[in-house]
Structures are given as structure tokens and as C-alpha cells.
Structure 1
Amino acid sequence: MTDLVSDPKTISPTRTGATVEFRGLRRTFGATTALDGLDLTVEPGELVALLGPSGCGKTTALRTLAGFERPDSGEVLVDGEDITGVPAHRRDAGMVFQSYSLFPHLTALDNIAFGLRMSGIRKAERRARAAELLELVGLSQHAGRYPHQLSGGQQQRIALARALALQPRVLLLDEPLSALDAQVRLTLREEIRRLQQKLGITTLFVTHDQEEALSMADRVAVMRAGRLEQCAPPAELYERPATAFVAEFVGVMSRIPARTGADDGTVHVLGRRLPVNGRLLGTEAVGGTGEVDVLVRPEAVEVTADKNGTSRIMGAAFLGATSRLTVRLANGAEVSADVPTHAMTTLPVGAAVTLTLPERPVLVDRRRASDGGGS
């Protein structure tokens, strides 16, 4: 696959990125609430990924910004200007869809130039601009090809170039990579990010793919039931989730039954007393003694072969340099743990093991009713 041109001489940013604000957006469809008071600000030149389960409202938020949906209440602002009532064709936003939506009867060059033609740009100027964008996305040699003569990745590049042709203030990407195979998706997401950073265009990216969101975005906005759960840089979202929903939705997280200490900010888990990271997710604080769950990532769980261990390996999945074990505790809870693949010779399925956690603060949440007994 041809890379995007890393430093094209003919294309440069013509303006700085715009500030985008959602203020108290609410949108319902019959009895279904798609947006429930959404508040979010996207800074100039920033790429924010909207991430969440199906039906959480992320696509509705994007379509509301594009002008394809009208909110029941709330405001959409771009650079401080309220555009809530502005028609879609006057919003100065470029949009790339999952389905590409290229015109089958137009060549790659003419697809890119279509919006320029509709805007009354002279033929010579629009064709020159389209040619520059073809160079930018690395497809100059395919200018005369029709969509059916291009691969899926190439079609999506053309769709991206078409969205950029009118130099919009905001770029909107609605799951643009989900129809592509894994290798093309990996390459194209890196190239989209590189291009977005070069042009400095404010971008909202809707995806259900956590890896895409975490690898591409400056910040990830996790949505649930029409509301914003947390918006933060990827590392903060992964390491310091604000809610139990974010903790379990982003990445893999296991729940280990535990018991809190006597108002000392610690928790007893897997035979060790560990400090809590400062709060009980979803509540105000950890206090008193009681049954809770400790939330842990697979890479934080240490597994040791132990013939007298009370835990047992129930399954293993090869992930390359690491393998992911499913370990069942004596109380029935199951925990995911990542170990070096070379260590699997001493950790076969069915082996008795002991699990431990490193001595650092842990995330704690209310005990779920379905969890097993204490630690």
C-alpha cells in the first residue's frame, strides 16, 4: 500500500482548527433517548474519538454536529458561533462515512472535485485542487480510475480527500475503517492521524474499536446511554478511569472479590493488603469494612505455579509474545492474567497456581451480587 505523502509541498493548512462545543444536547427518538444532556468541548486541532457501545449516542452526536440531526434541546457551537439551526450544507464540515459513498460513475479525481464543482469553483482550479489532494493521500497514479477499480482502502482515501477538498473547519469520521480488513485498517488509521496532525484540522472520530480510539486520539470520550462518562487522553483513560463502566469498557478488566480495611484506605485482596487509589468508583469514598471488588488489568496479575495453590488455570489464549490465562479463584471468580508465552511450559491449563497483585494502589468498586465470596 502506498503511504500518504508525508510532506507535500502543494498542501498546507489555510487556517487553524476550530473549537467545537456540545452544550446540554438532548435528542430522543420516540421512547429512546439517544443524547441525554451531552456536554463536550473539542479544542482547536484536536482529534477526539467518541467511543462506546452500540446505542450510546456517539453517531447521533456526530450527525448533530454535521447538521443531519436536530437536537430537541441544547446547542452546538463552532468557534463560539451557535450553529444548531444552520443547515448541513452551510456548516463548513467535511464528513467521511463508513460506506465511502463515492459516485460510481465518476473517476477518483472527479469524486474529489465534486464538492468544489457544486461550490462554483472553476474547472481548472478544482481539478488542480483535486490533483493536490490525490497526491496528499498517495493516489496520484489512480486519478482516472473509477471506484470499482480501487481497493477498499483506496476508496476510503478518496472519500477522505473529498471531505478535505473544501478545507472544512471540522472533519467528521463515522467509523470510516470498520469495513476494511485488519492490516489495511491498521495502516490507514496511522495515515489518517498523520494527515490530521499535519493539517491541524479539528476532528471527531466515531468508533466502536477501542484500539483505534486509543491509538489515534488526543482524547477519548467514552459515552454511555447518551451521556459522557469520561473524556481524557488514552493513557489517563486506561490507567485512571473515572467510573467502573469506563474501567471495564476500555481494555480488559477483571473483578476480584475483596474486603475494605477499617477506614484506613486499604483493601485486603489475594492475601495482601493494598492501598486504594483514593475513591470507590461510582461512590464518594472507601470507608468502613465491607465487601467490594478490586478491578485489575491482565498485565497487573502475577501468576505463580503452586501445587498447593487454590486457584486453577482454566484456559489460555496465544497473543504472540504474551499469552492470556483465564484463572478461576477458589470462590469461583475468574481472572484474566497475561504472562510471557515462554512461561507457558510451567503454566499448563489445569495447573494449580497462586495469584498476587503488585504493591500499588488499586481500583475498587461495589461488590457485584453475582461475585463470589471475600478474599
Structure 2
Amino acid sequence: MTVPVQLKGLRRKFGATTALDGLDLDIAPGELVALLGPSGCGKTTALRIIAGFETADSGELTMDGQDVTHVPAHRRDIGMVFQSYSLFPNMTAAQNVGYGLRVRKSSTAERAARAGELLELVGLPGREDHYPHQLSGGQQQRVALARALAVRPRVLLLDEPLSALDAKVRLSLREEIRRIQLELGITTVFVTHDQEEALSMADRVAVMQGGRLEQCAAPAELYERPATPFVAEFVGTMNRLPGTVRDGGVVELFGRRLPIHGAEPGTEGRTVDVLLRPEGLAIRTDAGAEGMSATVRVATFLGATTRLHLTTETGVQLKADVPSWEADGLTPGARCTVTPHEKPVLVAEG
């Protein structure tokens, strides 16, 4: 059974430090939500409160509409996977997976059957009798995931489960976790500091700062339409380019007038920073092209795209992404013109 989870006005302080400052978040049944943000933003505290390992100073936590704010961790029907695997070294993979069932007094046959079923689900058939030291880090984390799922929890919590693994294993395992989550349809909350993990795995990403929720949205919306300057600059790469507010809710940048997204434009003539992704800039090399003149400082080949580091004739430094097949001639020292694409932009105080 999949259940909704609601965090309502959660507050938590540790001495003089405010970890959560009125956090509100609704998680739909069967949804995978990633909590993303810088160190100290409160994402791990929020996860630990959902798990029952921490208690909020105020606010309410509900699961399936029932208030569980003060319900002990062992009665919340939660499965949790930690960064450090936390497997019992003296138990086999099957025994680790079946541990929660043993605590619940399930029969030996039931534990063995459930362990075999889940080890196959996580891609470890035939490893039932292996001990943790006989498994790789990625395999150990798969066992930890199977153990968390063994008791058929209503909610699955993942606390940076991939950060201790190397890049190739991390990529493979995040795809497996997403596959399993979708197959089981289990409500899942995933804490990570890795933007790529969050954007590639989650139905929605909740970006946090200072114990508050800045924005919770689908990955594409978060990237394309960030709600605040913090989200815009925290997720992906962002240029801050000087622009001038003009009448009609537009900002002038490199000779082009662009509509302002999500904010009052302010006073005519006011200088602001225009927040623009590298792919939001068009690069031209033909003589007479309109735009701001610039010089290529560095060109970095990234496969399908090439990232250009440019300096404009006014001394502004910026990054622009162009298709690699269009990058011929855009080598260090080359001259070009830069023009923003005509689409709404976010602005911040200059």
C-alpha cells in the first residue's frame, strides 16, 4: 500500500542552530521526492524526523492522513537505507535481508523465501550465502536496500545511499533503485547532495536552504523555471549578467529585451543581474551579427556540446554551450557575438 506523507510547519533547533524553520512538504503516494540542498540546509534532519530518529520541536508529520509526529520509529512502518550500508558483518546476505522479519517473529521458511525474492529483485540472485566482506560496495548497498524492503514498509527513506560508491557503480545503482521504486510503487524520500542524482531519479526535487523549502518541482521545471535566484544558481550552471530594467516588464541584455519571469520588474533604468543558463545564449561568428562582441578564452569539448568561456568587450565573463558541430573555429582567441535567446528570464539584485 502506498501512502502520502505530509510535513506541516516542522521546526527543529539544535542549540542556537535552526535546522528546520517551518518546513512544509506534501509527498504523494508512490512518489519519489529528492531533498536537495547545501550542507546544513536541513534535509537530513527532515529525513530523520520522518524516520522517527529525531523529534520536531513543533509542527506535524502525517502518513496516510494519520498524525505520527510522536509515534516511535519502530511503529512507523518505515524502511531506511543508510550511506554506510550498516550490514551485520556476521550475517549472510539472506540473514541481513531477513533480519527485520526475524524481529517480527516470521518463520525461517518465510524469511528465506522473502530474502531470495528480494535479492533477485535487486540483482543479486545466488548471493544468499555471501557475507558482507565477500561483496563489493555496490552489492552491499543492494543488500541494504533489500533489507529495507523486506518488511514491506509503507515509506522508503534513502540517506545519501550512493555517495560512498565510485561513479560507474553509482550510475548503475541509481537506475536500479529507480526501477525497483517504480516497480513496487513505494513512497520514497531520498536525501542527496548530488544534483545529477536528484534530477535523474526523482519525480520531484525539493530544494532546501536554511531549513526552508525554496521550491519543490519536477526536475525539468526546477531547471527551466526556478522560483528563486537561489534555486537558479544552485541547480545546474548559471550566468549572472548585468541587465537594465525597461518599461513593460522587460530587461535589456546585450541589446535584446527579454520578459522578466516571476518578479516585478521594478524601476525603469534599474540595474539587475540576469540569470541565464549557458544554453540560453546564442553564439554567432558571421560578420555584422547583432549582439555583444566577445572573445573565446577556453573551449571545452563535452561530447554533444562544447562549453565556451567568454569575455565580452565590456569585461563580463560568461559561459555558453553550443552544439559541438557548430564549434569549429571557436578556439581560444576567436571573436564572436553573444545574444540571449528570446525567452523569459529570472532577475536578481545586482
Which string of whole-angstrom CA distances, capped at 9 and with x for unpartnered residues, describes residues 137-184 of structure 1? Answer: 121111111111111111111000000000000000001111111111
1-side partners of 2:59 and 2:299: how far apart? 49
TM-score by length of 1: 0.89
Deviates more, 1:55-64 or 1:331-340: 331-340
**Per-residue deviation, 1:344:** 3.5
RMSD: 1.5
Q: What are the equivalent positions in structure 2 for 1:13-92 lying under 5 Å apart?
A: 15=1, 17-92=2-77
CA distance in 1, matches of 2:152, 2:265: 48
TM-superposed deviation, 1:363: 2.1
Q: How far apart are the structure 2 equivalents of 1:320 and 1:204?
A: 33
**Aligned match of 2:310 in 293, 318, 327?**
327
Aligned residues: 347
Q: Which residue, out of 282, 286, 289, partners 1:302?
A: 282
Summarize the alignment of residues 281-320 of structure 1 with structure 2, pairs less than 5 Å apart.
284-305=264-285, 310-320=293-303
Give the whole-Å Cα distance in 2 for the aligned partners of 1:287 and 1:20: 43
- Kindly provide the CA deviation profile for residues 299-324 of structure 1, in whole angstroms up to 9, marking residues without a partner as x: 11112236897322222222112111
Partner of 1:209: 194
CA distance in 1, matches of 2:89, 2:333: 56
Show CA shifts across 1:334-359 (max 9, x none).
21111223444311112222101122
Q: Give the aligned residue type for 1:298.
A: P
1:220-252 per-residue CA deviation (whole Å, 9 max, x = no partner) reads 100001000000111111111110101111111
Residue 132 of structure 1 corresponds to 117
Q: TM-score, normalised by structure 2?
A: 0.95
Aligned counterpart for 2:249 among listed residues 237, 262, 265: 265
Contact 1:307 1:352 in 2 (8 A): no
Partner of 1:244: 229
- Aligned-pair distance for 1:29? 1.0
Separation in structure 1 between the aligned mates of residue 177 and residue 137 of structure 2, nearest angstrom? 15
Contact 2:304 2:324 survives alignment (8 Å): yes
* C-alpha distance in structure 2 between counterparts of 1:313 and 1:55, whole Å: 37
Counterpart-to-counterpart distance in 1, 2:268 and 2:293: 28
Contact map agreement 2:245 2:265 (CA 8 A) in 1:
no
**Other structure's SS at 1:346 match:** coil
Q: Which residue pairs with 2:94 in the alignment?
A: 109
Q: Please give the per-residue CA displacement for 1:77-98, whole angstroms capped at 9, x wherever unaligned.
A: 1111111111111111000011
Q: Is the partner of 2:284 in helix, strand or coil? A: strand
Alpha-carbon displacement from aligned partner over 1:276-311 (angstroms, at most 9, x marks no partner):
23x33xxx4445331112111111111223689732
- Residue 275 of structure 1 is matched in structure 2 by 259
